Amino acid sequence: MTELIICDKLKLMKFLFVILLSVFPFLSSQAESLVKEDAKAYREEGFKAQSIGNLQNALKCYQKAIVLDPDFAQAYNDIGVVFESKGELKRAEEMYKKALVLDPNLLSVYTNLAFIAEKNGKIKEASDYWQKRYELGQEGDYWWEVSRQHLLKLGTYPKVKRDWLKKQALMLSMEVAQENEQKRLDLVKEAKFHFDIGNQAFFKKDYETAIKEFETIFFLNSPDKKVLDKSVALYKQAKRLYLRNKVVNHARDALDCIESDDYLSAEKKLGESLEAISYITQEK
């Protein structure tokens, strides 16, 4: 009987132990989350104090934040900013480097370290930090542009200058391409405008106007091959019909001149008529 009781107690203890193991990680995670929230609150309080120039209170708040959350990279960076504001560059640099170890993607740390390196005359080191800020940053943002300007000024990274020149060349090329495309579209539009006028004139048998409009299209050298091909076809027809009308009209005028015994004028008119006929036969 006693052995059974002991066995039951052992089973109960095992059961309670399993329950504790399953609950404890959850409780621990919850507690850790609350602590990190408190650390963020101290950091925000410190930032408010810093913004009104109360560096001492700001420093205390930031230090409380890293006590609660030793992995709080942003708070280490903030402490570095306070030390730098107080002229303690060495201590500031130590804090920035701690922040960098905790979070290599914290962009403001590279900027801060680059400025300190420049103040200390460490040009190569400053260039390395600016280069990292440049590479991790997003093109077009303020500090990305600042890092680019510093790299160009320091002259230790000609690649940045080459990249910048390539970018400028690309932008110029794109602008030229856009201008050319706009010119092309304008030519297409203008050619279509003259084609519509020429086409209407052709069907109204105003062949002289049609010829002029189609010749304008040829002069424009429109990139629209479809319109160009149609213009060529209609131009040939308009030219032939225009010349045919000239042949008929000049022949009629010659006959009128003969009836009036004006043979010199009749000869001239017949000559113009024959000239038009010759042109038509050559075109065929």
Mean pLDDT of successive 10-residue stretches along the chain, which has 284 residues: 45 48 51 80 91 91 92 94 93 95 94 93 90 86 87 70 66 75 82 87 86 84 83 83 78 78 74 69 62
pLDDT of residue 81: 94
One-character DSSP codes across the chain? -HHHHHHHHHHHHHHHHHHHHHHHHHHHHHHHHHHHHHHHHHHHHHHHHHHTT-HHHHHHHHHHHHHH-TT-HHHHHHHHHHHHHTT-HHHHHHHHHHHHHH-TT-HHHHHHHHHHHHHTT-HHHHHHHHHHHHHHS-TTSHHHHHHHHHHHHHTS-HHHHHHHHHHHHHHHHHHHHHHHHHHHHHHHHHHHHHHHHHHHHHHTT-HHHHHHHHHHHHHHT-S-HHHHHHHHHHHHHHHHHHHHHHHHHHHHHHHHHHHTT-HHHHHHHHHHHHHHHHHHHHH-
Question: Tokens standing for 42?
Answer: 């101290």
pLDDT score for 129: 92
- Report the alpha-carbon distance of residue 213 to residue 279 in Å, rounded: 21
**Structure tokens given for 268:** 């001239």
The pLDDT of residue 87 is: 92
Two tokens at 140?
Answer: 């077009």
